[in-house]
Amino acid sequence: MINFDLLIIGAGPAGLTAAQYGARANLKTLVIEQLAPGGQALLIDVLENYPGNTALLDAGGKVLAEPKTGFDFSQDLYRQAEAFGASFLTGSVLSLEKEGALFVAGLSGGEVRKAPAVIIAAGAKHRILGVPGEKEFTGRGVSYCASCDGPFFRNKKIFAAGGGDSACDEARYLSRLTSRVILIHRRDRFRAQKALAERTLRNPNIEVRFNTSIKEIRGGQKVESVILERTGNDGKGTGETREEAADAVFVFAGTTPQSALAAGGTGGGTSGIRAELDENGGIVTDQKMASSVPGLFAAGDVRSGSFRQVVVAAGEGAVAAHSAAEYLDETKSG
């Protein structure tokens, strides 16, 4: 079995940046990811708000190259981390235990990897609406990702739900595929950033309906209609409902941190680690990204209070790796 200095769980922008910084600090670094490197950044259409990732213009202002997509950006981060010496392993971490000074990660397939420092950068998973029909029609008209499934509903009538940045961003993506996007939000205003909210309201292909929620999704083989309910400004239903034809329902209701490994629960096994979490399940850290468990760090969307932006995740990954290196120096010399 190979032992490492630093295990990084998750290869989104936080994990990949931590890997680069860990490897550059001469730490024997292993990144474990169950899917492809990039995490949720893979789904970003155009990563237009990452500093420096801007269009390339000629002297006359003609666009020579567009900003990178989330996919291309993720590939570059991955290649960069690998070039600096980080190792990568595809698999799920099912358990995380502490054996003396070492963390022991139990992987799918029964393998284990050990290291004295761990960064959890496992991101967050989408929240569901929790309404009848949602689970049943997932993959048959219900989706959580516009760029993945939007093209199946070209020129169709699409309902989208949510009032945050994701809802506005993803509705814009859908509005390029059809002129019939109906964005449903349970309150009387968006919680999205002002610029995004205003752009959404101006988009001729998006009809915004405030004070409305999706109460039920109905259909046969696939989604055929939604039951909409009028809501008060507290977001709660008033009981006034009506049915409307629909071809698809896209849910953008926020995310929950994938922090189970840090807190006793896991994706299948058991965990002896009990780090402090906030009420939403985010791992609580200090400014050095250190959790309440010595040697365990967190970065990106899994971390309590993280502003879910690629640039922030990358910055937190860099801080976490730097802090892990300091921790390892201190524990070696102490």
CB atoms within 10 A of CB 77: 24
Angle at 314 between CA 309 and CA 318, to 5 degrees: 145
Contact 128, 302 (CB under 8 A): no
Instruction: Work out how close the CB of 332 gets to ligand NAP at its nearest, in angstroms, rounded to a whole number.
Output: 37
CA distance 147 to 312: 22
Which residue among 45, 58, 149, 286 is the active-site one? 149
Q: Which stretch binds ligand NAP (CB under 6 A): 71-79, 198-206, 303-311, 326-334?
A: 303-311
For the CB of residue 26, give the shortest distance to ligand NAP in the complex, in Å: 34
Taking residues 35 to 74 in sequence order and writing x for each that binds ligand NAP by CB under 6 A, - otherwise, the string is --------------x-------------------------
Identify the residue among 28, 157, 187, 230 touching ligand NAP (CB under 6 A): 187
Question: Does the footprint of ligand NAP cover residue 230 (CB under 6 A)?
Answer: no
Q: Of 136-175, which residues contact ligand NAP (CB under 6 A)?
A: 161-167, 169
Of the candidates 5, 76, 145, 278, the residue annotated as catalytic is 145
Residue with Cβ nearer ligand NAP (187 or 230): 187
d(CA 92, CA 106): 9
Annotated catalytic residue 168: no
Q: Which is nearer to ligand NAP, 235 or 265 (CB)?
A: 235
Least gap, CB of 40 to ligand NAP (angstroms):
9
Nearest to 183 by CA among 122, 93, 248: 248
Binding mask 13-42 for ligand NAP (x = CB under 6 A): ------------------------------
Would you give the binding string for ligand NAP spanning residues 244-263, x where CB under 6 A is met? --------xxxx--------
The residue number whose beta carbon is nearest to ligand NAP equals 164
Q: Which is nearer to ligand NAP, 214 or 325 (CB)?
A: 214
Angle between helices 310-333 and 13-24 (to 10 degrees): 40
- Smaller CB distance to ligand NAP: residue 53 or 87? 53
Displacement of CA 182 from its chain's centroid (Å): 24
Active site positions, annotated: 145, 148-149
Q: Which residues bind ligand NAP (CB under 6 A)?
A: 49, 127, 129-130, 161-167, 169, 186-187, 191, 213, 235, 252-255, 307-309
